[in-house]
Structure 1
Amino acid sequence: MEFGSVVVWLVAYLGLLAIGMSITGAVLSRLDDRGAGVAIPAAIAIVWIVTYVLGRVSIDTGLLAGIAVLGGLAIVARLRGSEIDRSIYLETAAVFTVAFLFMVAVRAVDPAVHPGGGEKFLDFGLLQSLLRANTLPPEDMWFAGESVQYYYGGHLVASLLARLTNTSARFAYNLAHAGFYAMVVTAAYGLGKSIAAHRGYPARLAGGASALFVGFASNLLVPAKLILLVLPGAISEAVAGILGFELRGVAISLSEFNYWTASRIIPGTINEFPLFGWLNGDMHAHMMSTPFLLLGATILYGYYRTPAESRGRRLGLLGALGPLAAMLAVVNTWSFPSIGGLTVLTVALAPASPTSLLPTRAKKLTDAGGWVRDELTRHTLAVITGVGVLAIGGVVSLPFWLQAASGQRGIGWLPERSGLGVLVIVHGAFLAVFALYYARYARPQLRRPLRAVGLVGMIVILSVVVDAAAVALFVPLLIVGWLLRRLGEYDELPTPGFETVLILGGIGLALLVEFVYVKEQAGPGRMNTVFKTYMQIWVLLATAMGVALVGLFADRRPSLGFDGPRWRRGFSVLAAILLVSTSIYGGLAMANHFRADGGYAQTDDPTLDALAFAETYHPNEYDAIQWIDENVEGQPNMVTKPGTNIYQWVNAPSSLTGVPTLAGWVHEVGYRGTDAYWDRVGDVETIFTGPPARQRSLLAAYDVELIYVGPLEREAYSDTTIQELDAVTVEERFGDVTLYRVDQAALDGSPS
């Protein structure tokens, strides 16, 4: 076990926490934790943005400049009076350290970046490519000679941390992976705590609940199946059929538990949550973006808390969102519109009217009018602000859109929608708490409660009739949450707070993907759309969940409904039930994970070495891959067997070293188009087996320097002739692998 590397990375993270707190303390001074929960992602974001801008010239120069800018901002903040509160630092550092070491332990017994069951070959290949690259964007390790056509910003974060700590990719992968997890858990803790403190709830309890629901909780599949297992067989099968899942895949004993099934509840989709994603071991874009999404939410909470008279500070907070939106575009393009949507919600629902952001003359034009005009003005300005944030982000990230963003996409409408049962299983815990939370605020405002109940009932019935269960579950909460925030201020009644922005943002996304999706090669129908958005949905709702759940039993204002000792006891029991039921999955998953003895498990010899599995299961190729990684400089073009059959050991030389191959995994069809990929597949076959003249032509056209001939290449191209060219010589031999060197200057003299 590489304890020294763990210490180095933890010290680096905690150093970034201290530096970041100097800056967030100045910018987010109104928050209870002064932005400490997002101090690490804030510090990383500053370095990242500078590196991204200057990386077209030099990544190393950009990194040094980014560190200088970060340090300069911290010094300026300190000179202007920003102090690091020692108790807040220690508390935040403790939360981060616990989360980081927990995930380090998880990865240490399953560190392999194996090709099955996820995108680890893609993620590790991008990390290696960025560590080999001198400039941005990096070259695509699966499409030699072209820049990567994928959102690589999160992998850039990992590569910058690896450069700072002088850590090779084989160890940096799992240490960065654990760091992203700890960052999102700590961000949820800080934001949940700050919201709760402002509302008078027990702050640490709410922050801890938010962190738990983000980092360890699961959906209700496992507790639902456990309940059904104790019912008579006919009843349990009938209920399971109504809910829309099979009564299998849950533990009667630990050996029968399968962590995978909880992420595949909604048919035809992938509905991940953080614990599943990090347990599965991918370091994928939709995971790495979550700390920075919560950074954006925390900045917006700073705006929400800032009074109308502090116009300059509010404009400054909104201005900071533009560069952050640019970062999110490159880290995970699916999060780019989300930050715009959260901006719209915040500006529309904040106590201070957005008209106070306008110049005096423009503000006078909006002052006259009743509440209808005021609300229309408020919401129009909110939309304009959200669009403005995205416009700034789009300009800053323009090189990504022009060079690296894949264009093989379109918009699809009205996909096959989710059934009521599966939506309840996935979102039920959140929906139950939010419905009760809003009910406490709504009851004093309902002069005719039966009419309100009847209206909700009509929405539910109509939704079921037209096969839109999501409308029945989500629309009432969207309407009620929005109205409570806005109408409560006119009636001077208690209103929910910023947690409503998170709730509406998460539920709005969940509703949106029931009707709109992105058509692309990555999966049939809306599979990839749900896959890439549900992690965002979970993080937003889980952070709000901690606040709302604690608020149910801690808010004792008599002006709210459902008050009194009995109600509080009932809410406390509900909180305990939800905490236990949503943690069963995590308990079973961890027990299974740390006792596993099959596959790539390292329970007897923990390590953070992501490539240790290759040495065990592919020893001959491992030696060749190691030689390439250690002896080949830069990113020369290489020929290997194309990865037309994916999620298995294929294209390992390029995926595990970052040295690009002509045609890698078939993912490239989605990035480049069908013809571009399959033309290269044909060219690779010609290079291995074609006539000498054509071989020479293709080797020159693709500027090939290395040819890798291993077991897969021999199996696919049994009559290989490439070695007969004079320009092709043996570089090294490793058991079943021969690595050839191509002399480009000698190609013209090769025999025909």
Structure 2
Amino acid sequence: MEYTLVLVWLAVLAALAAAATPFATLLLSPLPDRGSGLGLPVAIAVLGVASYWVGQVAFGWPGIVVALLVVLAGSAYALSRGHVPERGPAVEAFVVFVVGFALVVAVRAADAAADPYAGEKMLDFGLLATLYRAPALPPEDMWFAGDRLQYYYGGHMIAAQLGRLTGTAPAYAYNLALAAYYGLTVAAAYGLGRSVALARGISPRRAGVLGAFLVGVASNLSTPARGLILLVQHLQQPITFSGPVDVLLAPLRVLFLVVPNDTVQVVTPESGGRFVEIFGYQFSGLAVSADAFGYWAASRVIPWTINEFPLFAYLNGDLHAHMMSPPLLLVAAAFAFAYWQAPADAVWRKRAYLFAAAPALGGLLAVVNTWSFPSVAGIVALTTAFAATHPASVLPAPVADRVRAVADASRVHEEVSRLVVAVVLAGVVGALSVAFALPFFSGATSGQYPALLPDRSSLVGLVLVHGAFLLVTVAYFLDRSRVDRDALETGLLVAILATLAVANLVVGWVGANLVVVAIAGVLGAFALETSFRDRAFVALGVLALAAFAAYHGSMVAFVAAGGAALFALAAALLDDDRPERRAAVGLAVAVATLAGVAWVLDATVLVAVVPVLLVGMVLLRLRRDVGFEVVLVLGATGLVTLVEFVYVAERAGPGRLNTVFKLYWQVWVMWGVAGGVMLADVASRAWPRWLVSPTLARAPTASARSASADGGIDADGDPETDGGRAGGGVDWGRVLRVGSTVGAVVLLVSLSLYGGFALVGHFEANPSQHWVCSRSGETGQGEWTLDAKDWSEECYPNQAAAIEWLNDREGRPVVVEAPTTGRYLYGSNDPASGLVSGVSSHTGLPTIAGWAHAANYHTQAEWDARVAAVETLYETGDASERATVLREYDVAYVYVGPNERSRYDVADLAADPGIERVQRWGDVVVYAVDRGALVDDETASDADASTNASVAVTRPVVASLLG
């Protein structure tokens, strides 16, 4: 029974977790829970490192044995030194793993197929099968026979090792490995998030659960936005009172009828495609109802990029590199957190983290997913730059002393020296990571190169993808800014007005939202002290005139009026002698400047994300009750900013498509863990009273006035008051706390909508008739299974039988089959069979040329030569030409199936010496090649000469007979 394998995998992984957890507590002892919740991810990292290096000589069981010995020896030593794991975190983390593992097992059981549609499952299954067969590393490329595999294969290597350890065939290991990697990702997110929260005094269990949710379950805001669009369209219908729901929605309908809605336009072009355009951003492929929900659109939010998140990816079912690296990236982050937590005098431990653990994990990540390994160096740079101890402390003593002498000269010297040393340390870690993975990098062929200034992301696109994380981060930072409340309100007003002024230019939303902006401005002005209201109203009036001018096309008038409003308000506020107010205005002007630069460069990331990055850096250096969670935020926001200006040009996709795709995954994982910690705090914190406007609180009590006059402050650094009540008024502190909790719940529900709709749709649609079957004209009824090849046996029984016969061959014999072209790639344009390059992909046996994008990892010229050679092999009538190809690529079998017959005029191969038909399944034939019996050039020449002589003799005789 195949589902017994589920229990086997759980048992083996539980044993690995139990064996490795003491070792993890030794390695990560500075963590508050000593890394007790990270035992299983650490075990997988050890398995990967050992398998990779031992595999250079002999891949398979030798690497597994070495990994187990390292884990057991490390744990035995840890226990002998008193490093006993905490049971609670270890058990909780494994429970999270089991839940994640079970979810993906269920998802894959409903649709287990490793087919060529909607992804790269054929590549992924082929890599897994190849590594089952590989005697050593690097393995031979199954789509480029005779050459080493150029693609990053480390994740499939670990999956193959887990398959060996559990006695699982590749057909089942594919889906079970998917489930294991998802479980590892959410478990690592839980373990790291829990530990970071514990160090911060935040509920560890709540933070861990929220981190696991944000990483593994939450979606971006695309689905909630699409749902809101449907709601808006419903609300804009004529008001009726046919039922209680209509009565409740009537006030909202009035609002949407009053406020202009020209920014929300339903467009139906001549092609019939329906989409909604909002602020210049097009929501295409809109469902007309919840029943018509499609899971794909949420992964394509920013045009010409891929914006996947974990739940989408695991639902789609590729066992791809970017889905297998997150657990290892989080282990690297855990080691960085251990550096962060280590005491100042633990110099050698910190050096071990930087120059041993980080390069080993960085090198492993290079082999698993090359896009991820630079992030290890980035995390190192951020961690060392913002840790309590100066990064020079890990350098040799003479060098450290000289750096410290420079740093002590001034605050500027301190900050600059920190950044310089941190960058140098990150560079060393990067170089050591490359050295660790040198067998992988050596001999690699790449057509990639860095490029600058790609197409930018729109403000709407950035908000849809990162908006939830931005919201949580801003709320978390706001609570820790602790600036003067009046200065905060004033600065925010200036920033909002300046940002709106530029936003009017960038997205042109004045015409639709002028009423809303005016209402918000008036309310904000009333929140100010009386002496500042007049200035605020003047600024709002000038802004309204500027908006009117811009709306009617006078750009010069708009810029002049907007600039005058900003200058007048800033000048009035700078006339104040309080430094807090000047600082707030300075920050506001900085935001306005960023907004202006964003408009000039068409880079809205400078307004949407960079301010969060800068504020996070300031809070870390000011030690404003923040910790390692903000380091993760800086890493995430740094990557979001980076891809707006730099990308990797390559043949795998146009422009920055693949760069955004691979880096946004890392953004999601890092920001998700940090978001769990921050959201756990935001949702439960008693908000500081400086956030409560005196206008709302009416007036402070006499005791509060006295305490403020005497300089009394509470534990939060705020003036001591009566808890937010003013003369028996409302307890606004509690209102804010309840409001933040409700807001957190609303946010979590919104982020869960995608998962609810997508999973229900997935289980309702599957198992059913497979799409691949219907495309080929055949039918087949699906059933619950974990067999990734079951679809082929069901839809293409003859081809599946032939492939399974070839799969039973020992070693790695080369099999010839038709390579894919643009027509066959991803099964497009109805190929004769969905089993495109099915032999190599489903067996791991090498073929001369497989899928077309193998050219991306080798060279196009080599690929074209191989495609031409295969065409010659199938079609030529010259036995010597065919024999030349068979010898050159060391071919053992020739496969002829529907795709080969539809693409080539296949010759009578069995007529050639050395080629024998050994098996036939309907229209599928397999030929065996005896290379020793093939015709050679000399024999072919003799045969041709004999034939020509015979013809020369025969012609006169025939002529005389006819004459």
Shift of 1:247: 5.2
Match of 2:435 among 395, 402, 409: 395
- Residue 920 of structure 2 aligns to a residue whose secondary structure is strand
Aligned to 1:646: 825
Q: Which amino acid aligns with 1:474?
A: V
Q: Give the stretch that moved more between structures: 239-248 or 68-77.
A: 239-248
Structure 2 counterpart SS, 1:554: coil
Verify the 8 A CA contact 2:47 2:158 in the aligned structure 1.
Answer: no
* Residue deviations 1:404-440 (CA, integer Å, cap 9, x gap): x441111111111111111111111111111121122
Give the alignment partner of residue 733 of structure 2, picking from 547, 564, 587.
564
Corresponding position: 1:612 with 2:790: yes
Aligned ranges 1:294-443 → 2 under 5 Å = 294-318=330-354, 319-368=356-405, 369-403=409-443, 405-443=444-482
CA distance in 2, matches of 1:559, 1:653: 69
Q: Deviations over 1:204-239 (max 9, x none)?
A: 111100000101000011111111112246654377
Say if 2:899 is the partner of 1:730: no
CA shift for structure 1 position 731: 1.9
Does residue 1:623 correspond to 2:663, yes or no? Answer: no
The one-letter code of the counterpart of 2:75 is A
SS in 2 for 1:518: strand
Moved more, 238-247 or 572-581: 238-247
Q: Structure 1 residues 447-456 or 526-535, which shifts more?
A: 447-456
1:610–1:694 distance in 2 versus 1, CA, 3 Å: same
Report the Cα distance in structure 2 between the residues aligned to 1:19 and 1:458, rounded to whole angstroms. 55
SS of the counterpart of 2:882? helix
CA displacement, residues 30-61 of structure 1 (integer Å, 9 cap, x when unaligned): 32432233322211211221221121211132
Deviates more, 1:384-393 or 1:550-559: 550-559
Amino acid aligned to 1:686: T
* 2:753 corresponds to which of 554, 560, 584: 584
Give the match's secondary structure for 1:230.
helix
Q: Which residue of 2 aligns with 1:551?
A: 681
| Aligned partner letter, 1:659 | L
Q: Any conservation in 1 of the 2:39–2:90 contact (CA below 8 Å)?
A: no
Q: What is the aligned partner in structure 2 of residue 454 from structure 1?
A: 589
Q: Tell me which residue corresponds to 2:887.
A: 700
Deviations 1:251-300 (A, max 9, x none): 6132x111000000111111110000110000111110011001111111
Shift >4 Å, 4+ stretches: 560-563, 601-604, 749-752
Partner residue in 2 for 1:573: 742
SS at match of 2:412: helix
TM-score, length basis structure 1 = 0.96
| Structure possessing the higher radius of gyration over alpha carbons | 2
Find the counterpart in structure 1 of residue 270 from structure 2.
none
How far apart in 2 are the matches of 1:299 and 1:250?
A: 45
**Aligned equivalents of 1:39 and 1:522: distance in 2?**
36
The 5 Å alignment of 1:59-138 reads 59-60=59-60, 61-138=62-139
Q: Secondary structure of 1:613's partner?
A: helix
What's the CA shift for 1:559?
Answer: 3.0
Larger mean Cα displacement after TM superposition, 656-665 or 457-466: 457-466
Q: In the alignment, is the contact (CA less than 8 A) between 1:325 and 1:339 conserved in 2?
A: yes
The alpha-carbon deviation at position 168 of structure 1 amounts to: 0.3
Q: Is the 8 A contact 2:38 2:90 kept in 1?
A: no
| 8 A Cα contact 1:430 1:545, kept in partner | yes
Which residue of 848, 868, 872 maps to 1:662?
848
- Contact 2:301 2:307 (C-alpha < 8 Å) held by counterparts: yes
Q: Using the alignment, how far apart are the partners of 2:404 and 2:283 within structure 1?
A: 58
Matched, 1:600 2:770: yes
Residue of structure 1 equivalent to 2:495:
none
Asked if the contact 1:441/1:560 (under 8 Å) is kept, the reply is no
C-alpha distance in 2 between matches for 1:605 and 1:688: 37
Q: Are the equivalent residues in 2 in contact too, given 1:139–1:148 (CA < 8 A)?
A: yes
Question: CA offset at residue 317 of structure 1?
Answer: 1.8
- Alignment partner of 1:680 out of 866, 869, 888: 866
Q: For each residue in 1:373-396, what CA deviation from the matched residue of structure 2 results, as whole angstroms up to 9, or x when unmatched?
A: 122221111111111111111111
Question: Partner of 1:745 in structure 2?
Answer: 932
Quick one: which amino acid aligns to residue 496 of structure 1?
V
Q: Which residue of 2 aligns with 1:195?
A: 196
Runs of at least 5 residues in structure 1 that lack an aligned partner in the other structure = none
Deviation at 1:555, TM superposition (A): 3.7
Q: Deviations over 1:311-343 (max 9, x none)?
A: 122112222111111000000000011111011
Q: C-alpha distance in 1, partners of 2:300/2:284?
A: 14
Provide the rounded CA distance (Å) in 2 between the counterparts of 1:46 and 1:21.
Answer: 12
Give the Cα separation in 1 of the matches to 2:429 and 2:638: 19
In structure 1, how many angstroms separate the alpha carbons of the residues matched to 2:94 and 2:803? 38
Which range moves more in the overlay, 437-446 or 53-62?
Answer: 437-446
- The question of whether the paired residues in 1 share the 8 Å contact of 2:445 and 2:859 is answered with no
- Look up the SS of the partner of 1:240 in the other structure: strand
SS at match of 2:874: helix
Q: Answer yes or no: is the 8 Å Cα contact 2:913–2:935 preserved in 1.
A: no
Q: Secondary structure at the match of 1:15?
A: helix
* Structure-2 change in CA distance of 1:166 and 1:274 (3 Å): same
Q: Check conservation: 1:200, 1:555, Cα contact below 8 A.
A: no
| Per-residue Cα deviation, 1:7-43 (whole angstroms, up to 9, x for no partner) | 0001111111112211111121232432233322211
Q: Using the alignment, how far apart are the partners of 2:26 and 2:73 within structure 1?
A: 14
Whole-Å separation in 2 of the counterparts to 1:655 and 1:160: 19
- How far the C-alpha of 1:538 sits from its partner, in A, is 0.6
Distance of 2:138 and 2:769 partners within structure 1: 35
Q: Output the CA distance in 1 between the equivalents of 2:345 and 2:373.
A: 30
The 8 Å contact of residues 28 and 35 in structure 2, kept in 1 or not, is answered as yes
Q: 1:502-517 maps to which residues of 2 (within 5 A)?
A: 502-517=632-647
SS at match of 2:450: strand
Is the CA contact 1:296–1:324 (under 8 Å) kept in the aligned structure 2?
A: yes
Supply the distance in 1 between the matched residues of 2:639 and 2:339 (Cα, whole angstroms): 22
Q: Which runs of 5+ in 2 are unaligned?
A: 237-260, 267-275, 488-579, 687-714, 725-731, 772-779, 828-833, 944-963
Which is bigger in relative contact order (C-alpha 8 A, separation at least 6)? 1
* 1: CA distance, partners of 2:67 / 2:674: 33
For 1:42, the equivalent position in structure 2 comes to 42
- With over 3 angstroms needed to count, the CA separation of the structure-2 counterparts of 1:11 and 1:719, relative to structure 1, is closer
Shift, 1:550, TM fit: 1.6
CA distance in 2, matches of 1:547, 1:7: 32
Distance across 2 between alignment mates of 1:699 and 1:553: 68
Give the distance between the partners of 1:560 and 1:633, measured in 2 at CA. 75
Q: Aligned in 2, Cα 1:736/1:63: closer, same or farther, shift over 3 Å?
A: same
Contact 2:141 2:846 in 1 (8 A): yes
Take 2:78 and 2:918, find their aligned partners in 1: how far apart are those partners? 55
Task: Work out whether residues 212 and 673 of structure 2, in 8 Å CA contact, stay in contact via their aligned partners in 1.
Answer: yes
Deviations 1:114-166 (A, max 9, x none): 10100000000000000011100111111111111100000001001011111
Instruction: Kindly state the Cα deviation for residue 748 of structure 1 after the two structures are TM-superposed.
Output: 3.8
Amino acid in structure 2 at the alignment position of 1:374: E
- Could you say if the C-alpha distance between residues 300 and 618 of structure 1 is closer, same or farther in structure 2, counting changes exceeding 3 Å? same
Structure 1 residue 635, shift from structure 2 partner: 1.2
Letter in 2 for 1:635: R
The answer to whether the 8 A contact 1:286-1:533 is kept is no
1:499, 1:544 within 8 Å by CA — same for their partners in 2?
Answer: yes
